[in-house]
Structure 1
Amino acid sequence: MNKENRSKLETLLKKVANQWNFEICNLNIQTNQNPIVVKIIISKTNGDDISLDDCALFNTPASEEIENSNLLNCSYVLEISSQGVSDELTSERDFKTFKGFPVNVELNQKNSKIKFLNGLLYEKSKDYLAINIKGKINKIPFDEVLKISLCTLKD
């Protein structure tokens, strides 16, 4: 499949997804497979989680759009899925859900030898992140935090 047809197909599928209150996060067409595999990763426009039922619901309109477009004139397998769970904490919901869980905090401290901190997620405010390191609460200003990820604690 050439780039132009792939782009046309992606545009068509995005319109269909929007009608069903979904967004297409990724479209991957594996032309090296026989039959071709079309993988679509979706999310909800309102930010809610994607369920198996959502994937099944989007399967029919996506398949119909592919068929009607005549951009794939061969047999294919259509796979609809969600983004899954990321280990990186980014949303307020993530911080509430994983309070008390072990996290790895990557730091942006230019004049420090410490680049990572491991501890239990304690609190997040608009100004700082608090983690519990061996019973001591450490508050880290957000301008010093690069990334916060779930992890396993190291002794």
Structure 2
Amino acid sequence: MSLASFEDPLVQRAHAYHQVILAANVRLTTPPVSRLRLVSVTPTSSKGDRVTSATATFSFTVEPADCNSWGTIHGGCVFTLCNAAGKIATAAVAAGARNIVSTDLTTNYLAAVPHGATVSIEIECLRVTKSIGFLRGTIKDAQGAVCYISVQNVSFEL
């Protein structure tokens, strides 16, 4: 599913929740979250006509403001991107989810990414219950090498 099919409910929910995040706290979400670009939302399993898990893929170009003193993406920026992407992926799967809050987010830093690089962020919403989402994700460089890994749990209201 590409963004050409914007009428798809998963893509609509993902875009809508991205706007919710941006509106919630402009100071914290203008950069880097405002530069997070949704590339696709792909269902990975379903039950009947309901999607039960999906992978959301984003792209992000690292700017100097996102970097530490060594010129590579700052760990806090990586954490913020995984956090926001996870919430967006959850909103795509859990129709009607609101007030999505991370309850646990673990990020492993494997390799640095320099400013100017464009990375892909893939977050899979593995499962949602009535109030909890379970996610895992990766951030890969332009060559497809995994640079960061995340595991995240979120809670939400329906």
Higher share of residues assigned strand: 2
Name the TM-score, length of structure 1 as normaliser. 0.35
Specify the structure having the higher radius of gyration (Cα): 1
Name the TM-score, length of structure 2 as normaliser. 0.34
